[in-house]
Structure 1
Amino acid sequence: MHTISTQADEPLVSPGHSPVMIRVLTSADRERLLGHFLALENDDRLLRFGQAAPDHVIENYVRSLNFTRDTVFGVFDHQLQLVGVGHLAYLPADGNGRTAEFGVSVLESARGQGIGSKLFERAAIRSRNTHVTTLYMHCLSRNATMMHIAKKSGMKIEYAYGEADAYLSLEPADQSSIITEMLAEQAAAFDYALKRQARQATKLMESILPHAVAV
């Protein structure tokens, strides 16, 4: 299933929320990705994939992800649950132009924090730095949130039969875009390491405390 549709949360960051840290995922994250997509409600799956997506379809989709060919982004909460996912799929080159298609999903519990918008921005930077000239999204036209993100980003939108295609022309990579992506990935890796250490410390305390109380 190479065609990607979109579903996301509100694009604006609410006051008081922590910065959204976005890490590039690898094949080692495949099981967490599966858990993320299976946690989506039926309507969210429809918005994400553009069609009904029962569990076996999602399982096939996750197994088929090629982390070498495409780029998959993830946002983790403090319990290391994958609450936001962005998939940047590179389409076959057309002459001198190169197009990438972007799809995004955010768990209901994590919406309203700007995760969908930040994943889109991160994907745009990666697209520029990998010589993509057009960033493309396909979604149902009733997907108001993605339509808002597309309009806010200045994408050209075409509507037909209840669906929408959005296109964004990208500037070539420059020193600023390269440094921005490098710093973002370093910050996300550091943030993930801190969350993992905190999670491990919590589990250790939970295993010790019952014994301490018993003594």
Structure 2
Amino acid sequence: MSAIAIAATTNPATTSPATTSPATAASPLPRFLATDAPRVLAHLLTLDADDRMLRFGHGIRREGIVAYVAGIDFKRDHVHGLSASNGEVVALAHVALRAGELDFGLSVIPACRQRGLGRALFEHVMALAPQLGAQRIVCHSISPVVLHMVAVRGFRRPNGDPASAPRLDLGASHRA
């Protein structure tokens, strides 16, 4: 893929009206709908085995990715990203909140790396967490880039256990 013009917005027909809600107004990243699932799937399937390992924290085959995307609840979870002018999803964040604990996954296609897209996704996650009422953010990624970003933001492994996922407990002052 040669030069890619990143679209700041998606097609209005596939952009959720929720993108203008207070929970997402802090960021220009569009929120994807269930109708965008094929584009999300195509994006994740472009990741090679190493990138899938870094993104998911474990080896995952095509069938696992298909099941993962089929299991995304686009109304409950927040799936945001950036698309090329041709509609291809080039950077993706999946944010899920369960019982006050927010976890997230980030991915950027190889041709679009080192342009700040991953950092933009991560900063979006950080801004979204308190707006959603998260008490804690957990990072299951094993990507060195993502682990560096979370360490800089104060994420720590419980009891220093290297097998534990880094997490950041949010104080009441960080929650909306």
Does the alignment pair 1:128 with 2:130?
A: yes
State the 1:79 CA deviation.
Answer: 2.0
Give 1:196's aligned residue.
Answer: none
Give 2:16's aligned residue.
Answer: none
1:74–1:123 distance in 2 versus 1, CA, 3 Å: same
Contact 1:47 1:139 in 2 (8 A): yes
* TM-score between the two structures when normalised by the length of structure 1: 0.63
1:1-215 equivalences in 2 (<5 Å): 21-91=28-98, 93=99, 98-140=100-142, 143-158=143-158, 160=161, 163-170=163-170, 171-173=174-176
Contact 1:72 1:85 in 2 (8 A): yes
Contact 1:139 1:164 in 2 (8 A): no
> Any unmatched runs of 5+ in structure 2?
9-27
More helix by share: 1
Give the secondary structure class of the aligned counterpart of 2:157: strand
Give the secondary structure class of the aligned counterpart of 1:28: helix
Count of residues in Structure 1 that have an aligned counterpart in Structure 2: 149
Give deviations 1:8-49, integer Å, cap 9, x for gaps.
Answer: xxxxxxxxx989752111101000001001100110011111
| RMSD value, Cα | 2.1
Q: Distance in 2 between matches of 1:19 and 1:153?
A: 28
Whichever of the two has the greater Rg, that structure is: 1
Identity %: 28
Q: Distance in 2 between matches of 1:164 and 1:105?
A: 21
* TM-score between the two structures when normalised by the length of structure 2: 0.77
Q: Which runs of 4+ in 1 moved over 3 A?
A: 17-21, 157-161
Q: Distance in 2 between matches of 1:139 and 1:113?
A: 20
Contact 1:34 1:62 in 2 (8 A): yes
